[in-house]
Structure 1
């Protein structure tokens, strides 16, 4: 790792999604987007559903995270995410089906529908579709 990079690790309960040196990243914090350059001050923050943008050797990568926490310390960024996937791993048909299901649930407005759960499912699906370029 050079002095112009920092180590980024994105892990979920199921797997390690990303573990490489990067030059810059933007994370979807619960209070707004947060940019992190090498030598950033130490911090811990919660993450929202959103797209992480990662710059590495002049290229930009996208990783969808569905909430979690991020710690920055000693040029190492650790993301503990509920779920995460690289943009190129996203199954667009599956994300589109999830979007339709969530929209149908929200349209029903019956007492047995958990509205918050349906809204979060819709936000996850829309974020995945956006990251996949749909």
Structure 2
């Protein structure tokens, strides 16, 4: 029974990905019945076993993609211990994507971008607020909502440049003296983060 149900889930997932791109949460129906076809198919194959809940069953439906591009971009900046920005309406954000700086305006095409250590710029009219991100992901939805998930996000004006430069020197020394692959990897991460911090503060 378990083998049969596992095979069913894998086959359904494979079928869902063939012939069309993976859907974002914004593409799910607004009502809570987004999984109804999956549940119906499950019951046809395995009627005596309750179907598993998928992540969309726990999600609050997002607003539908508007017919016209809104004037503002809604941004959420989420950390493991805090919500730095929650449903903040702004004109634009610039995120430190791994492929380079990426600007996001209202109406931006749906995108998932990996973030490298660098500066997140939040633009509200003439005001620009900058955060240093340690890395993470940006989820740009078609309905002009952008979710940014990071481990750390610190306002740039709260960072002490002397501490950053001291840390950069220490990690460069650790990298030069590292004798194992683990030590080299740890030191390289420290160098990368402190180099990005130093560039953000002095550039």
TM-score by length of 1: 0.84
Gaps of 5+ in 2: 1-68
Structure 2 residue corresponding to 1:6, chosen from 73, 77, 93: 73
Runs of 4+ in 1 over 6 A off after TM superposition: none
- The residue that corresponds to 2:113 in the other structure is 45
- The residue that corresponds to 1:100 in the other structure is 169
- The residue that corresponds to 1:54 in the other structure is 122
- The residue that corresponds to 1:85 in the other structure is 154
Using CA pairs under 8 Å that are at least 6 residues apart, name the structure with larger relative contact order, 1 or 2: 1
- The residue that corresponds to 2:198 in the other structure is 129
Shift of 1:39: 1.2
Larger % of strand: which? 1
Paired residues, number: 133
- The residue that corresponds to 1:29 in the other structure is 97
Q: Does 1:66 align with 2:134?
A: yes
Shift of 1:12: 1.3
- Separation in 2 of the partners of 1:84 and 1:44? 19
Q: Which has the larger radius of gyration?
A: 2
- The residue that corresponds to 1:117 in the other structure is 186
Shift of 1:70: 0.8
Contact 1:62/1:131 (8 A) holds in 2: no
- Separation in 1 of the partners of 2:119 and 2:185? 21
TM-score by length of 2: 0.58
